[in-house]
Every structure is written in C-alpha cells, then in structure tokens.
Structure 1
Amino acid sequence: MAAEGLLAEYPELRPFVLPNVRLTGVRIGAGAYGSVEEVAVPGAICAAKKIHDIFLDRSEIPAAEIRRATAQFVRECQLMSTLGHPNIVKFLGVAFFPGSRLPALVMERLLTSLHDLLDPETDPPPPPNTPKPFFPLSLKCSILHNVACGLAYLHERSPPVIHRDLSARNVLLNSGMVAKIVDLGVARIVPRMRTAATMTKGPGASVYMPPEASAPAKSNAQKSKYDASIDVFSLGVVSIFTIGEVFPCDPVTGTYLDEETGLLVARTELQRRAEYMRHVNGQLRACGQLRGDHPLIRLIQQCLHNGPHKRPSIREVLRLLEEARAGARDSGWEEVQAAQTQPRNQAKDRELAEARQQLRRKEEELQSSEREKQTVRQQLISSQRRETELVQAKDRELREKSSQDD
C-alpha cells in the first residue's frame, strides 16, 4: 500500500509522519518481524523500525488481515505517542521509505541492548579464555530497577498497557547505562498473519514466557487474555540473564546431556528453573552476597511462579530491587572487584567511548549539513530578491521611457 493510499485510508496517521527522514545505511539490528535502521532527521540521529514486507504479502495473506494489521499499526502509533517516561524509548513519529508498504517507527537512538551488553557478538570472536567484562551488581540492580519503573508506568495507566514481549533485546541502554523499554506492541502487529509453522504460539519469545502463554485455549475468547503478570514473569527471566550472565535456555528446544544414557534429553520446566538459580547463586556467591533471603533470589522465585496471581505486583518488584540495589552499594565488595578487573574493562570502555564519539560526529555532520542547506537557501532567496528588484527596476525604466515618448 503506497504512502498516499495508506494516509488516505487512515488520515489519523498523518500527524505522526516526519518529513526529511533519510536512511544513513547503518543497520542497527534485525529480528523476526523487521529490521532497525539508523536514520537522520533534522538535528539528530535516530533509529527506525521497519516491518518486513513479507508480513504484508498479498499473495499469501487475506486482505482482511492486512487491513487488521494496518489498523493495529495505527493504534500502536496513537498509543506510543501518548507515552512519556524516562525508562520508555521515546517514539518520535513514522517515516515512509521506498519499497515499504508500512511506515517505519522512528525512535530515539540508544547505545546498545541489554542482551548485547551482557553477551556481545563480536566479529571476529575474542580469543579463547578472554575474560568477560565486569558489570557491578549495583549496575545490574539499577538496570533492572529502570525496567521495573518502565513497566510500572505502563501497568498503572488506565487502561493498563501490557508489553507481552519483554526480553533482554527489548531493553536498550544509553551512554549513561540508563535502561529503556522498547518494542511496545510491535510484536502484536503481525503474529496472526503467519502460520503456526513460522510463529511461536505465545505472545512473545518462548524463553521469556510463563506457562499460561503456551497453554492450549479452551475457547477462542481465551486466546488473548493475559494480564500484567505476564510481564512480571518476563522480568524474572530478564533478571536471571542480567544477574547470572547466562542466556536462558529455551523450554522447547533446551536439552542437556544425560550422564547415564549419554543422550541429549529435553529439560523439564523445573530443571530449567533450577539451572537458572544455580547461575544466579554463583554470581551472588562470587560477590559475597549469597544468602537464602537475598532480595534478588526472592524476586526471581516470586516472578517465576506458575500461578499468575501469585506473582508479585510491579510495586513489590520495585521494593525488592531497591533493597537489592542498596545492599550492593553498601557491601564494599564492588570497589575491590572493580580494581581487580580494571584492565579487562579498558577495552570495553574504549568501545563505548568510540561509539559515543561516532554518534557525536554524525550529529555534528548532520548539523553542519543543515547549516549549509540553510546558507544555500538564504543565498537563493537573496538571489531571487535581487532578480525581482532588477525586473521591477527595468519595468519602471520602460514605463518612464514610454511616458516620455508619449
């Protein structure tokens, strides 16, 4: 659907269209539904999420589904335009690019994702036995607290907004390591448009989803009934990844080696969660904070409860994270550990500094380009003004000469 056709059918989308948005050629990332591209808007470098056109292939998908997805896209734009919180990625508008049927969502540009921070995919890969960067427990608690603050803002709106797809990839970080939630509702625009063979059954990535998300529905009316506790469960899994620094195994494809049979067998849900807690306990033991009543252990165990109504409220999650953050700052362990691991952090610091400098250079180039355009526009206006004055002077001269001849 062309831009003008889409805007004619959905005029409520017009207020969100941003002019003068151009792709820089830098791909920030790609996912199941689309890609994230770097874009330049007047005065800033931003990010744009483009949905793959395969999801709008008219040869495979009924027209009614395409209209439903487009209407959902418009509703999500309207929703995101009303959100304003320091822990929610700022939505700036939409932009049309050649070859795309749906506009791209334009958002603020951040430094990295929580997933890439904890488990960076470097090219080429680091040499064997390269020590991992050190991330203080207080920083991890602060990041999780930021995420919980963002969820609290969403859950306490009227009506509540449920993310349904919270993951470490959907938590972005700025240069000050402030976490912000992204992809609100984007995962809901296209899932019903693909077959069961290409889409997960639950609302989000199965690794982060609670049992009720994959339970068979008794009726069509029950298929989409999820409450805010689904996000609390996902936050528990994000906490495991953040604290334990190990990516959660998939409950569907996760396997382990059975020592008795020598075969790869599927992990049960209980085994999966027990493995999570071993990694969390290992990290807490390393920093001298392992105890049974540690607020982080309580937080994760409560968030991962099978019963949705037995999981903590987002306010209780915030309380436990504040307690854990205060304990991490007061332990004194982090100063010692940071001093011991300072050399291994220097490379990471250089990477972050280079990324910040690159962003600043691009912003300066864009501002310089805008100044040059403004100068050219002013010169053009001056030239047109002079030309008009010359034409007017010539006209006056001709009129005066004509009157003299008369």
Structure 2
Amino acid sequence: MSCASDNVMTTCAACDAGVPCLRYSTASTCAPVRGGVCVTPAGDCPYQCYPSAISNGVWQFTYKNDPKTTDNGGYGPLGLIKNYTVPSSVSTVKVSGGPNAGVGGNPLKIISSWDTAFLGSSVSAIALDGLNLMSSYPTVPATVTDVTIANCQLTAVPAWALSSSLAVLALPNNKLEKLPAIGSSPYEKLANLKNLDLSRNALSTFELQLKNLQALDLSNNQFTTIPSAVYSLSGLASLNLDGNPLSGAVSKEQFAVLNGIATLKLPAVTGSCPSSSGLQTTTTSGNSICVVGASSSSSTGLIVGIVAGVAVLLAAIGGFFWYRKRRAASAVPETTFNDFEPSYPLPGSRRRQPTDVDLRGSSASTNPGKTLVRGRGSSNNVMSNNSPVYKDLLLQTRSNQTHQRSSIVLQSALNPAIATLDENDMVYTRTLGKGAKGVVWLASYAGDVVAVKKMVQTAPDTDRQEALCNLVAEANLLLTLRHAHIIQLIGVVTDRVNEIAVVLEYMDLGDLREMLMKKKPSPTFDWTSYKGTYALHVAKGLAYLHGKNPPLIHRDIKARNILVDSQKGAKICDFGESRLRSYQETMTSNVGTARWIAPEVLLNDDYSEKADIYSFGVLLSELDTHDVPYSDINLDERVIVQRVAVGQLRPKFSATCPEKLRRLANHCMQADPALRPDANKVAASLADLLESN
C-alpha cells in the first residue's frame, strides 16, 4: 500500500472511538510521544494513536516540526485531515502550527486539506494559531460561537469563519489593515458579537456599528485618534486602545462616554495637550485624556507615569520627601517596621501571607454631613478619583546576611489620599471574624454600617508588625480600585501612632463560603438565580483587575474571599495576596490557598492573570457542590497539591451541574494558561447562560 505524501490525521480501527490517529508518509517520520506508540503494520502505513489529545472535554492537536518522546501527547506533524470528526463530547478545538516564530512569523504550517466534517456539530469554540489559511481552511459549523485566529498573517477578516451565532471573535497578531464594509455580508454576520479582539494588527480605522458589543480590544494598531464609532457602542464595558499613537483631544461629550466605560486602557499622554484643551482623568479607570475646554494645570507640561526602574523610584522618593517637608502638620513620632512590602510590589519583592481574617462586611456610603479628615493633617474630603495615587515608598533600606530589610514610617507608608476617620466617632458592635493576627469588627460610623479590619491586640510584636504592613499595603491598593464588584475602602482609623484599622464597606450576607455551608442547592438557589449572578459578578470584578495596566493578579480567588450582599450582589475582597504582574514578581510559590491555586504557580513557574482564571474555575465547583474542592477525596494535602500541579486532579462537579457551566469551568482550569479564557470571555459566557434561562 502506498502512503500519502504528507502525514494524515484520520480515523484508525486500532484507535479507540474518537481518538485521533496520525498516518505517516514514511516510518522515519513517526516519533512516539507520551500516550502514544508508533505502529508499522505489514503492508500498511505507520500510524500512531493520540489518546492524550482528548482531555477534560477539550480537544487539542498541535503541529510540531520535531515531536519528541518528552512531549505531553497530542503533538504531531500534521499535513491534512481526512475522514475524522471531532467527538460529540468536545466543545473546544485548537490547532496550532509550528514552530513558534513570533507574531506574523514564518514558516506558517499549511494543512492542505481539512475534512468538511472535521469540527462536527458540537464544537462551540475553535482556535487556530500559526497556520497558513490562504488556500485551505476548516468548515466552521453554525454551533461555533467563539473563534480565535491568531498569528496567521491574515490581511482581511476571513468570511469563512463568520456566522450570525458568533459572540466572540479574536484575530490578534495578524496583518489586518481594513475591516468588513458596513452593509456587506461579513459585516452582517458580526451583529451579535459581544467580544472583539483586533489587537496587534495594522488597523487605522474602525467604523463597525456593533450594538451588542461589550468588549473591544484595538491595542497595538495604528490609530491616531479614538475611532468615532466607539462613542456609539452603548453597551461597551471594556475598551483597549493602548499601544496606539493617539494624539489630539476629545470633546466633553466624548469624555463622558469614555468615563462611563468600566475597563478603559489608553496610552499615556506623552506631550502637551492641544491649545484650548486640558487633561482630565476618568473616574473608573484613571486614564488621563486631553479634553477640549477643560482646564488643567498639566495641560502644558509632560505627564510622566511611574515606571519600574531605579531612576524613577529615586525621583519618587525625592518628591515624597519634598512633599513631607511642605506639610503643615507637626511630625508624628516614627515607628520602624521590618520586611515591609508595598501594595504595588517592587521588582523582586516577595509578598507575605495575608492576615488570617474571615472578612464579612460592607456599605459603601458615608454620611455626607460628616467631614472626613484627609490623611495626616488635611481637612479636605477625600476618596476622589482625582486624588494623586502615590506608590508605597521604601524610605530606608539595608541588607543583612539573609535578605533585604526595609524600615518605614507608618504615616509615610499610608497613601496621603486615604481618608482618616475619627476614632471617637466609630462605634464597634461585634466581631465578624477573627484570626491569629487580625480581627474584623461590625461598626457604625456617622450613621453608616461599616466593617473594620484591625490587628489583634495580643499578637506578638513580629506578627503585629507584619499584620500592620499588610493592612497598609491593602489599604493603599484598595484606594486605587473602583468597581461595583470590588470591596470598597471607606478610609482608615489611626487610633495609635503605630497602628491603623482599615474601614471597608459592609456586606450584609457575609462571605460566600459561609453562605454555601448554610444553604443547600435548590430551585431558589441555583445557577439561574443567585449562583449564576454571583459568578458573573466575580468574573466582572476579575475583568476589571486584569484590565489594569499592568494587570492586577488577585492570587487568592475562592468563596471565602467573596463577600455577598442582599442588594449589591458579590464583591471580591482580601487583597493581601494581590500584586501587579511582572516576571520577577510572579516567580513566588506558596501563596493563597493551595487547593485553588493554578498548577503553574504550584510549580513555581512564571504566571499571569490566567492563574486567577484557574482559581475561578475551582470557585465554580464550590458554587456547584457547596463543598471545598477535593473534600470527597481522602488524600494527604501534599498529595492533593502534587496531583493538581501535574494535572492529574481537578475538582468534581455534581450531576445536576449545567453542562455549559461544567465546560466553562474545565475551560478555566486548563493546564496550559494560554488555553484559558480571559475574564471578559468568562463574564460574557456567564451572561449568556443567565440570559438563556
């Protein structure tokens, strides 16, 4: 029997049902990988089964030039697809070309022929990466609602990938210069899009009118102004234009639209604003924008961002000391603490474990008739988003034999924009939660119910110092966060020279873990009501955090760190483990709670905001079963963590869990972070689920 001139992915009788089989052109090209073995039958072509290509309801077959025995299975040199259909249990398919040559790189793999029935009728999401799709491409069924085509050198939006059922379209890292014309057939098929990613292309215009669009990524293109079509996208909740050479000014009406977008990323203003315009800052995302008719003392100067590096840090410290000298208030006796860590970690810093407190709390309002005292001496009201955001500063550092130590002054460490509340006006009612180093009190201030996070008075000095540093860091971070599903900072109480208490909004239903322990699954507490709503709220909160520049990683997403309220829904709390993403700062293991942590973190690998997405998938299992993950398994904690780290163990779901939720959770808990959806896609999926019920 003569073999094909190229390697064929097909169906072989010797392979289990649904398992892809690769028939090789010659025996020399068959290299066995983990989970498979090369077979050369007499008078037939060599082949290999790929059982590991199907896992957790997600199918992947990745092309590589040089598959090795150390590969994790599912890899093979693929030339064409014939007589093979993806199993009906599969919802997501990814096919990647290789080798990875970077954005728009060569060579791109050509699959000369795709079986028309390849994707079947059950697939809802496909991802194609590093492929030459100019002359040959798959047939996309109408069931597909999520399409990603990345790094394929596309110069136009491929009509073959579009359908009216499409909700998510991602075309990053291509060479797009234009989009479908309004009124054209491809344009009409985009009508139901909710998430559109066109990042890293060559676009300079955007005229699409997509009334259902919720998230739009136009970053790293060639836009010189914000496209006018953006202002008519009334449902837009996320817009990314970072990495574009934007210039000019917007009108006050346009600024109002931008100010209403929950997650907004714009490039920093690097020069002076045009005449008759000035800088204004959006309240939701902190972007500075030149606005026609606005007055700004900075409109004729340069706006300089805080950038990682020694020079900028020294400049910030010098500016801070100058600011301190100008203070009219008398100096407060200094208290020294060791091992302080800022809320925005410096490169190479390591985060301490958070104060062990079960926070139950929140009500965002403060009595308008009550004057809030601005931090350390000023009587102005604060909490304004126009207030300057100071990074935490290490005022004095020294080294010993083991590690860097930093001495800080409490009054200097706290962001001066944080409201300082009068201790005498705080009425404590009862404790809501208590740990070894901290306690949360239910209290009232100026007639409003609040939650107050304090240190335990009887804790050892070293623990108290660490708890104090964590409180300062968390307060400074919370000051910069403004979102409906992130716990809100009200202010701080400095009842002693060397102590603070953080005042937060009160959430009347406590934390989600406690609620799940008290309630049983029922028609009034299921995915179509409270569970789905709470999950959606958390996803939106994560989308906001990950939309920061750089992304903010919470690192400890679990039911215990989600607060719920009868009116406000769910909010993410406990930012003691949060940090901004950078390579040095993500090489830290042993953070958060191990059963919720992503494998890459457990393995001490570099990780990104996708680690939060994994934890969110575990959280979905909590919502489904009402139990902590792996509570049904009688294994030592170390064994559980080891199996999670190598992908051998994932949380289970109940028999009544909706299949869409199960698929979404498994998608979030992919071993490969690159295969996990971003928070915006997760939120869109949950919103669709709620709308369909």
Q: How high is the TM-score relative to the length of structure 1? A: 0.58
Equivalent of 1:136, from 507, 511, 526? 526
Residue in structure 1 matched with residue 163 of structure 2 by the alignment: none
1:136 maps to a residue whose letter is D
Residue in structure 2 matched with residue 5 of structure 1 by the alignment: 334
Residue in structure 1 matched with residue 186 of structure 2 by the alignment: none
Residues 33 and 187 of structure 1 are in contact (CA less than 8 Å); yes or no, is this contact kept in structure 2? no
SS at match of 1:226: coil
Count of aligned positions:
273
Equivalent of 1:43, from 429, 439, 447? 447
Residues 437 and 467 of structure 2 are in contact (CA less than 8 Å); yes or no, is this contact kept in structure 1? no
Residue in structure 2 matched with residue 107 of structure 1 by the alignment: 504
Give the distance between the partners of 1:297 and 1:10, measured in 2 at CA.
Answer: 48
Distance 1:151 1:188, change over 3 A: closer
Distance 1:237 1:9, change over 3 A: closer
Residues 255 and 266 of structure 1 are in contact (CA less than 8 Å); yes or no, is this contact kept in structure 2? no
Give the distance between the partners of 1:69 and 1:46, measured in 2 at CA.
Answer: 20
The answer to which structure, 1 or 2, has the higher relative contact order (CA under 8 A, 6+ apart) is 1
Give the distance between the partners of 1:265 and 1:103, measured in 2 at CA.
Answer: 37
Give the distance between the partners of 1:78 and 1:216, measured in 2 at CA.
Answer: 27
Higher share in helix: 1
2:525 maps to a residue whose letter is F
Equivalent residues in 2 for 1:83-232 (5 A)? 83-97=481-495, 101-111=498-508, 112-120=510-518, 134-139=524-529, 140-176=531-567, 178-184=569-575, 186-187=576-577, 202-216=590-604, 225-232=606-613
Distance 1:54 1:166, change over 3 A: farther
SS at match of 1:147: helix
Distance 1:243 1:109, change over 3 A: same
Residue in structure 2 matched with residue 323 of structure 1 by the alignment: 688
Residue in structure 1 matched with residue 656 of structure 2 by the alignment: 283
SS at match of 2:450: strand
Give the distance between the partners of 1:155 and 1:89, measured in 2 at CA.
Answer: 16
Give the distance between the partners of 2:498 and 2:591, measured in 1 at CA.
Answer: 24
Residue in structure 2 matched with residue 375 of structure 1 by the alignment: none
TM-superposed deviation, 1:9: 5.1
Residue in structure 1 matched with residue 290 of structure 2 by the alignment: none
TM-superposed deviation, 1:211: 1.3
2:421 maps to a residue whose letter is L
Give the distance between the partners of 1:239 and 1:272, measured in 2 at CA.
Answer: 16
Residues 21 and 39 of structure 1 are in contact (CA less than 8 Å); yes or no, is this contact kept in structure 2? no
Give the distance between the partners of 1:311 and 1:33, measured in 2 at CA.
Answer: 36
Residues 23 and 39 of structure 1 are in contact (CA less than 8 Å); yes or no, is this contact kept in structure 2? yes
Distance 1:264 1:202, change over 3 A: closer
TM-superposed deviation, 1:52: 4.3
Residues 230 and 308 of structure 1 are in contact (CA less than 8 Å); yes or no, is this contact kept in structure 2? yes
Give the distance between the partners of 1:10 and 1:97, measured in 2 at CA.
Answer: 12
2:603 maps to a residue whose letter is A
SS at match of 2:428: strand
Give the distance between the partners of 1:32 and 1:226, measured in 2 at CA.
Answer: 30
Give the distance between the partners of 2:638 and 2:610, measured in 1 at CA.
Answer: 30
Per-residue Cα deviation, 1:185-223 (whole angstroms, up to 9, x for no partner): x2469xxxxxxxxxx952201121111222246xxxxxx
Give the distance between the partners of 1:32 and 1:171, measured in 2 at CA.
Answer: 20
Distance 1:226 1:102, change over 3 A: farther
Q: RMSD of the TM alignment (CA)?
A: 3.5
Higher share in strand: 2
Give the distance between the partners of 2:685 and 2:459, measured in 1 at CA.
Answer: 41
Instruction: Give structure 1 regions of 4+ aligned residues with deviation exceeding 6 angstroms.
Output: 53-56
Give the distance between the partners of 1:178 and 1:29, measured in 2 at CA.
Answer: 20
Residues 244 and 283 of structure 1 are in contact (CA less than 8 Å); yes or no, is this contact kept in structure 2? no
Residue in structure 1 matched with residue 312 of structure 2 by the alignment: none
2:616 maps to a residue whose letter is L
Give the distance between the partners of 2:456 and 2:671, measured in 1 at CA.
Answer: 34
Where structure 1 has 5 or more consecutive residues not aligned to the other structure, the ranges are 122-130, 190-199, 218-224, 258-262, 330-406
Where structure 2 has 5 or more consecutive residues not aligned to the other structure, the ranges are 1-331, 336-375, 377-408, 580-587
